[in-house]
Structure 1
Amino acid sequence: MRLAIISDIHANVEALRSTLAEISTQNIDHIICLGDIVGYNSDPAQCIDLLRELNALCVAGNHDRAVTGQLSMEGFDYTAAKAIRWTRRNLSSDALEYLRTLPVEASIDHHLVAVHGALHPESGKEIVRLNNDECRRLSFEALVVHPSRARLCAFGHTHQLGIFEFRDGFVQQLKGDQIVLQDDGWYLINPGTVGQPRVADRRATFLVFDSIDKRLTVHRIDYDTSVPFAKTRTIAILPIWAFLPQFVRDSLLRLPRPIRNTLKWIIKTVGI
């Protein structure tokens, strides 16, 4: 079985279309989406429609559940909450019902367990981030005793591509774009993000898992990032310089307000 694993689309239909075009060349049996189909960008309905047309197996992310009202917006920053409210107003009742029925955890036979955030919490699997060794170890412990008997758990939420291995009592992050899984190992895998990158590399990323070869392959996809950013700025969901890498945005926030306002005017004027 060959599985394409994607996550954190965040209503970026240009990124999703480019990703699905590449997936169509990979002889894939099933597409697994790890949640956050919506939020931040301007095409949530189109993204939902594409996934439904392809019969993708999806779990719910925190943004998906916040849009449906199943999760409080407490803890979401101003920008995320603004996008959630906009999305809620602009989705049909059918699309909202689709999001509402997504599970927070799903198993694909004995091959893989899918969650948005983390496997170990009894509740809030879509909220917890596996962004440190302690949390990853807790999810590894949950994977070892999981009733599916899967040795692979796919998660998203951090927007950071990563493959982590638990063997002989030790956890390590594996490097490389081709990883062969060991029979005595357990694995936490994050495909990164399709539509909301938070690093300098703006490409969409996804993983392909081949259960026969026991191999994970990283894929990176170029697309025109200016299109979704322009649309999103037009409807005023994202800050005007949201297209910049996080470290640049952090530096800009330390500038005096008059300088920041001037930079915003320049970006609007030249249409970056």
Structure 2
Amino acid sequence: MKIGIVSDVHGNLEALQSVWQLFDAEKVEAVWCLGDIVGYGANPRECLAEIRDRCSVILKGNHDEAAATLWGLDWFNEWARRAIVWTHHQLSEQERSFLQKLPASVRLFGSHSWEQREQDSFNLAFPVWLVHGSIREPLTEYILNAHIAAENIEVLMSESLPADVPILLFFGHSHVAETYFLPSPRSRKLRHQRFLVTTEFQFQPGGIYLVNVGSVGQPRDGNPYAACGILDTENLTLKVFRIPYDVERAAVKILRAGLPQELALRLFQGW
């Protein structure tokens, strides 16, 4: 089964539609969204509608929570705060309620006897965690370095896990396409790989992987192309894609909406 993974769309409709075109071409069968559908960009309602239509699993991010409730505005910088307040007023009451009620994390398991839990609809043969931020703090913590990644892997290893399949945690929030991983539970050295260009990655049985497929709508790794991933559950591969889109159109919309010009300029820079 091919499962598309998106995160941090941030109201960027042009970037999101480029991802849908790719997923259609790749014959993706389901889509997981890891949160921050809105905030920063000029098309929050349109992006939310498309995510609701296309995604089987939808998480909320910190921007979704803030736009829905105006919660925690002091935690955001001025540009983000202005965009959140603007987005809040663009959304309907029903849309705000929908965002607020979304989970910030989901655990998906396969049908093995080692885990007697509710069956998921994806027929996974390995456990998967989906979070916006981290497994420790699903809504707010950034996995920004190996130290934080290692601490989150320790949390995963405290679970009762099988030894013959990969253990996957997909996260967003940082807007950087990358993975931190241990090739096996006995490995002592944490490995790291960035996905600055389209890259295919092979998961190994027994490995523990923290993976960020990057941001659809506001990448922050120096590459302005939209980022997303496709998980192949049969071949145990993940392909992270970097996709060009009409950045200028998305940026002009931000300016016309009266949002901070810095939010438009950064789309060209990938920061």
The TM-score range, normalised by the shorter chain, is 0.7 to 0.9
Aligned ranges for residues 1-272 of structure 1 at < 5 Å? 1-69=1-69, 71-110=71-110, 111-121=127-137, 125-146=138-159, 151-166=167-182, 167=184, 168-174=187-193, 177-240=199-262, 241-245=265-269
1:56 deviates by 3.4
In structure 1, what is the Cα distance between the partners aligned to 2:194 and 2:170? 17
Q: Match of 1:160, as an amino acid?
A: V
Distance 1:92 1:164 in 2: 38
2:9 and 2:259 map into 1 onto residues whose CA distance is 16
Kindly provide the CA deviation profile for residues 146-177 of structure 1, in whole angstroms up to 9, marking residues without a partner as x: 46877100001111000221231321013661
Deviations 1:218-268 (A, max 9, x none): 111111100110010112212253345278xxxxxxxxxxxxxxxxxxxxx
Asked if the contact 2:70–2:85 (Cα under 8 Å) also holds between the matched residues in 1, the reply is no
**TM, length-normalised to structure 1:** 0.84
Mapped to 2, the partners of 1:151 and 1:129 lie a distance apart of 20
Whose Rg is larger? 1
Q: CA RMSD in A?
A: 1.9
Corresponding letter in the other structure for 2:147:
E
Q: Identical aligned pairs, as a percentage?
A: 28
Tell me the secondary structure at the aligned position of residue 173 of structure 1: strand
Distance 1:69 1:148, change over 3 A: farther
Q: Provide the rounded CA distance (Å) in 2 between the counterparts of 1:196 and 1:66.
A: 18
Match of 1:134, as an amino acid? H
* Alpha-carbon distance between aligned partners in 1 of 2:68 and 2:2, rounded to the nearest angstrom: 31
Tell me whether 133-142 or 232-241 shows the greater mean CA deviation. 232-241
Q: Which moved more, 1:100-109 or 1:182-191?
A: 100-109
Contact 1:164/1:188 (8 A) holds in 2: yes
When residues 213 and 75 of structure 1 are mapped into structure 2, their CA distance, relative to the original with a 3 A threshold, is: same
Moved more, 141-150 or 110-119: 141-150
Determine the C-alpha separation between the residues in 1 that align with 2:270 and 2:2: 34
Distance 1:228 1:53, change over 3 A: same
Give the SS at the match of 1:242. helix
Is the Cα contact below 8 Å between 1:62 and 1:71 reproduced in 2? no
Given that 1:11 and 1:39 are in contact with CA atoms closer than 8 Å, whether structure 2 keeps it comes out as yes
2:249 counterpart letter in structure 1:
V
SS in 2 for 1:74: helix
Runs of 5+ consecutive residues of structure 1 not aligned to the other structure: 248-272
Q: Deviations over 1:25-70 (max 9, x none)?
A: 2222220111100000110000011011124311110100111227
For residue 129 of structure 1, give the secondary structure of its aligned residue in structure 2: coil
Q: Which residue number corresponds to residue 252 of structure 1?
A: none
What is the total number of aligned residue pairs between the two structures?
Answer: 244
- 2:12 partner letter: N
TM-score between the two structures when normalised by the length of structure 2 = 0.84
**Aligned counterparts of 2:75 and 2:101: Cα–Cα separation in 1:** 23
CA distance in structure 2 between the partners assigned to 1:58 and 1:205 by the alignment: 17
Contact 1:107 1:148 in 2 (8 A): no
Q: Is the 8 A contact 1:109 1:148 kept in 2?
A: no
**CA 1:211–1:109 in 2, change beyond 3 Å: closer, same or farther?**
same
Unaligned runs of 5+ in 2: 111-126
Please give the alpha-carbon distance, in whole angstroms, between the structure 2 residues aligned to 1:238 and 1:191. 27
